[in-house]
Amino acid sequence: MPIVAHPKLPSLSKLKTEDLIIADASSLAKEFHQELRIGLLNLMPDAALQATERQFIRMLGSDENILVHVYPTTVGSLKRGEEFQDYIAKNYNDISTIYASKLDGLIISGANPSKPDMTEEPFWAPLVEVMDWAMENTNSILCSCLATHALLKYYFNIDRELRGQKSWGVFPHTVANSPNPLIAGLDDSFMGLHSHFYDLPLKKIQDTDLEVLAYHSQAGFFLASTTDTKLVLYQGHPEYDAISLLKEYQREITNFLSGLRPDYPPLPENYFSKAAIPVLENFQKKVLLTKEQSNFPEVRLSELVKVEWRHPGKILYKNWLNILVIAKEP
């Protein structure tokens, strides 16, 4: 599963223990007949920037026969600390370099929403500029979560809607009866992970030329696409690490203790194994008694996560990579 990052990303050293080959182009280029060049527009805040790199690059290693060159970039309008400004300056491509490149596909990460109206977000103007460029200059755009909401707003004028309760956990999704190559090899149902406060009206999506490929009645749609796969739109998160929701759960406990949420957070659905429940219940009792979050059992709980979304996620990404390979053929 070979990956070449341009330039090299220091954070990727953590992936070398996962049978993912991180190497330079000269050492691998002669070994592979199929190569792809994919941009990664990372819009996540500083705290999640490097984890997001690793998550998507792990997914791009889903086909051992394809050498993937990854070109990370971001937009300058996002507020960042000095440390990450320096990190990006050293390890990311300027967006003008991306515009001058010949990319097969572009991945656009989610972002941290700060305003009810997405068009008022600091990333909105540069994001839609990148989308317009990618529509004309790549074979496919793959969007994640908020980027999917942004694209549907920009191109289809579909507004996201605030959910009554966050879609949070791992859910069984019904797969469409469709010849779309993105879902080739999937079972009729697969487990997929969600984490979003906003949702998109299914009926409005169905009224476009988009095809909803995977859906859960409670969690919302997981994946939609144009029939030609020019647009690949994830509301779900096949790329998430095993501990991503665990980190979110810990953060929600902190929000409860600081008064940012009124209630102790519910558990993400179908995420923890049964063995984790007594550990979680005991910790909740301790927090409610002491009003402190000390000694959170992260290591123990990380061993009790049901990572049921990873395998179908890799099938989905492998399919996308092969679609891009076919699109390159004369």
Q: Which residues are catalytic?
A: 145, 237, 239
Hey, which residues does 4 pair with through a beta bridge? 69
Residues 6+ apart with CB under 8 A from 100: none
Tokens matching residue 56: 């998507």
Q: Determine the Cα–Cα distance for residues 325 and 70; give it in Å rounded to an integer.
A: 15
Query: What does the block give as tokens for 173?
Result: 């999704």
H-state helical runs in the chain: 25-28, 46-60, 82-91, 95-99, 124-137, 146-156, 202-206, 244-258, 277-290, 298-302, 310-328
d(CA 151, CA 156): 8
